[in-house]
């Protein structure tokens, strides 16, 4: 599934910008392809009280809106945010990739698993 999604993203990159003009070459208009949200994390299972570094694989986007269920901060507009999780559980992460033409949202349910740290001896 991820391979197909990556191939689709590469195909979209190949058609990032389309230009049109009349017979004289005047009045060129640039059409931007819609964004495609995609992301991963350096770790998806962590101990409570630690941070996760997210890796943005989106294409054709100029801005980003992240939502981190159970994370601190709970939202971010950074390209690749680092988020802390304090409480054990499984958490959803949402990324919306935006450009001047459109937006695209990817929700990964139960993407981050936070476990309690081992008990002290």
CATH code reported for the domain at 34-115? 2.60.40.10
- The pTM of the full predicted model, rounded to 2 decimals, is 0.75
Contact (CB, 8 A) for 95 and 64? yes
**pLDDT at position 7, please?**
44
**pLDDT at position 12, please?**
42
Phi, psi of 42 (to 5 degrees): -65, -25
Asked whether the CA dihedral 53, 114, 95, 16 is positive or negative, the reply is positive
Residue 50's DSSP bridge partners are 85
Joined together, the tokens standing for residue 93 give 């992460």
pLDDT at 25 over 70: no
Contact (CB, 8 A) for 96 and 37? yes
* Tokens 């001047």 -> residue: 100
Residue ranges per structural domain of the chain: 34-115
Each residue's pLDDT tens digit, 68-107: 999 999 999 999 999 999 999 999 999 999 999 999 999 9
Q: Give the mean pLDDT of 30-48.
A: 95
């Amino acid at each position: 599934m991820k391979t197909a999604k990556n191939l689709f993203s590469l195909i979209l990159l190949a058609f990032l910008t389309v230009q049109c003009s009349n017979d004289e070459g005047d009045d060129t208009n640039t059409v931007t392809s819609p964004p495609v949200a995609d992301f991963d994390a350096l770790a998806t299972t962590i101990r409570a009280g630690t941070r996760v570094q997210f890796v943005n694989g989106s294409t054709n986007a100029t801005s980003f809106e992240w939502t981190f269920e159970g994370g601190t901060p709970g939202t971010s507009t950074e390209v690749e945010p680092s988020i802390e999780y304090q409480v054990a559980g499984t958490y959803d992460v949402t990324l919306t990739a935006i450009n001047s033409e459109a937006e695209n949202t990817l929700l990964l349910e139960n993407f981050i698993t936070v476990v309690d740290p081992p008990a002290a001896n």
